[in-house]
Amino acid sequence: MTAQPALIDPFGRHVSYLRVSVTDRCDFRCVYCMAEDMTFLPKRDLLSLEELDRVCTAFIDKGVKKIRLTGGEPLVRKGIMTLVESLGRHLKSGALEELTLTTNGSQLARFADELAGHGVRRINVSVDTLDEAKFRQITRWGDLPKVKEGLKAAQKAGLSIKINAVALKGVNDTEIPEMLRWAHGEGMDLTLIETMPLGDIDGDRTDQYLPLSVVRAQLMDQFTLEDIAYKTGGPARYVRVKETDGRLGFITPMTHNFCESCNRVRLTCTGTLYMCLGQEDAADLRAPLRASEGNELLNAAIDEAIGRKPKGHDFVIDRRHNKPAVARHMSVTGG
């Protein structure tokens, strides 16, 4: 196959990272991500697993080197391992450097061995608290012991784990030092994430918003944080914690806009491509995908979309902006 031209956006950034939401469904209802009573998409609107593979392959042919599967919760998508196995062929050929996923951990005990067998080497797992009652409160439906069981299964399968925790004022802010010691003590990285204004949820985000600049300053009272150049392809900035010899990441869309180095686009489970998590502009890839057995229309739609990738997002959280910057829920775009 003739190599497609690389994906270069209007600001000279090479798009090499595709995040793919394989489902909008989830077995949790995290308070900062979803409303409790969610209306999910009808199955006919979703791309089939074969169609997801075809779109991912088109992006790989255009130079995408990293694919992250997300949801909702990706491991609740029926037959998801067939997609993971199929995409694994690009790892074997060397066309794809990394296939990874973000999960809530609830299904890891079931799938960890298969993920590792298909070439996944690293996963992100969302855990916002180590308090079982609080975990249930944040996730509404989650079971922390089951998640911890999944983490052990993943490590046994040889997967590297990064714990993602959304920093929430008045919820888990006092737990962050404990979470740091726990993650590093278990051989896992920890990344802290600022809450983002996406989707109408039950509650006011301004009450929960916690700038990570404040968290970092508080951590420095107990820990020695050394800036390091480590990167995973995403937006996190990392430090090494001298006392634990572990890595700590900060994702700061609010206090420190990281758009200048953005190398990512996001595909939803319906085939909608978002060039920016914080903008509504999007491109429909489902129609060109289904209009032809060849990929000419699909490739043209991808190129046109990348040509519209914006310079940055419009996120802001304060009392004057207590409506979401973007109406869709985080679970729709896949984080």
Q: List the binding residues for S-adenosyl-L-methionine.
A: 32, 72, 126, 196
DSSP 130-195: S-HHHHHHHHSS--HHHHHHHHHHHHHTT-EEEEEEEEBTTTTGGGHHHHHHHHHHTT-EEEEEE-
H and E: helices and strands count for the chain: 11, 12
Binding-site residues for [4Fe-4S] cluster, in ranges, read 26, 30, 33, 259, 262, 276
- Return the beta strands (E) in 22-130 as ranges: 66-70, 98-103, 122-126
Binding-site residues for GTP, in ranges, read 19, 68, 102, 162, 264-266
Residue with tokens 């978002």: 274
Length in residues, the chain: 335
Binding-site residues, in ranges, read 19, 26, 30, 32-33, 68, 72, 102, 126, 162, 196, 259, 262, 264-266, 276
Rounded (5°) CA angle 120-59-10: 125
**What does the alpha-carbon distance between residue 10 and residue 307 come to, in Å, rounded to a whole number?**
6
Helices 212-219 and 176-185, packing angle to 10 deg: 70
